[in-house]
């Protein structure tokens, strides 16, 4: 490609946008067309320009539609973001207030090494439960002491040591208030299922005891 042609191509290409848009006069058109007849590269440039011009209204249309969509959505998005922030702040504040003001709640069943099952409950919800294990020796009874307040109750179920799906409950008893109760059970190992069937507040101990009167259940006031 010689230098003159390069310059001419440059000039023509400067004119091409106006030429394609049909903004050029007849003399310029003639000049451009003469050059295009001889110059394949410039012809390609014109073809590209014409193709782009054909496509551009579609592209612009799509872009405009997309832009309108984005503009419409911008407001909505901003609103959603603000609502989300407010909601998050409210949830966090609520959680802090709830954590600070709610009464603590627990239902602890502790199976001690000394064979004493200790249940401590504070505002325990209905359904709170635990499992204890007890061994009753010959001549011993199961002693249950309760110190429950606020009309709360704790239910114990006595089951055989090895519990499975078919296991039958040997004994079920619900305790309220302050009591000391004694139950005769055959010597052996037992599983004790302990449940707050209402709410539970207070404490309970369950142990094997040889101190009570033999030969029957006795109920007496607590210490
Ligand atoms: Zn050219």
Give me 193's structure tokens.
């299922």
The domain spans of the chain are 3-98, 106-220
Burial of 144 (0-12, 13-18, 19+ CB in 10 A): buried
Rounded to the nearest angstrom, the distance between the alpha carbon of 54 and the centre of ligand 1 is 23
H-type alpha helices, the chain: 3-20, 26-38, 40-101
Which pLDDT tens digit goes with each residue over 41-75?
999 999 998 888 776 555 566 666 777 777 777 77
- Residue corresponding to tokens 């110190």: 147
> Tens digits of per-residue pLDDT, 159-195?
988 877 788 888 899 998 898 888 888 888 999 999 9
Determine the pLDDT at residue 128.
86
CB 108 within 8 A of CB 199: no
| 13 Cα: distance to centroid of ligand 1 (angstroms) | 7
Looking at domain 106-220, which of 2.60.120.10, 2.60.120.790, 1.10.3720.10, 3.40.50.970 is its CATH number? 2.60.120.790
Q: Distance from the CA of 28 to the center of ligand 1, in angstroms?
A: 14
Is the confidence at residue 103, as pLDDT, over 80?
A: no
Which two three-digit tokens encode residue 103? 């009464």
Mean pLDDT of the chain: 84
Distance CA(208)–CA(115), nearest Å, equals 7
Helix (H) or strand (E) holding 171: strand 171-176
Residue 116 · residue 206 · CB < 8 Å: yes
């Amino acid at each position: 490609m010689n230098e003159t042609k390069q310059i001419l191509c440059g000039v023509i290409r400067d004119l091409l946008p106006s030429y394609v848009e049909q903004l050029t006069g007849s003399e310029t058109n003639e000049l451009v067309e003469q050059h295009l007849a001889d110059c394949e590269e410039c012809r390609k440039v014109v073809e590209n320009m014409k193709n782009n011009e054909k496509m551009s209204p579609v592209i612009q249309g799509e872009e405009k539609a997309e832009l309108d969509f984005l503009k419409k959505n911008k407001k909505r998005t901003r609103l959603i973001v603000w609502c989300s922030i407010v909601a998050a702040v409210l949830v966090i504040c609520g959680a802090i207030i709830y954590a600070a003001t709610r009464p603590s709640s627990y239902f602890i069943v502790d199976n001690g090494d000394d064979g004493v099952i200790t249940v401590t409950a504070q505002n325990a919800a209905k359904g709170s439960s635990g499992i204890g294990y007890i061994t009753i020796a010959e001549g011993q009874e199961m002693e249950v002491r309760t110190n429950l307040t606020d009309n709360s109750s704790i239910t114990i179920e006595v089951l055989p040591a090895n519990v499975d799906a078919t296991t039958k409950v040997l004994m079920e008893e619900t305790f309220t208030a302050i009591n000391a109760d004694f139950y005769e059970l055959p010597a052996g190992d037992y599983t004790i299922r302990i449940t707050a069937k209402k709410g539970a507040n207070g404490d309970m101990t369950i142990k094997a005891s040889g101190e009570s009167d033999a030969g029957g259940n006795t109920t007496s006031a607590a210490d």
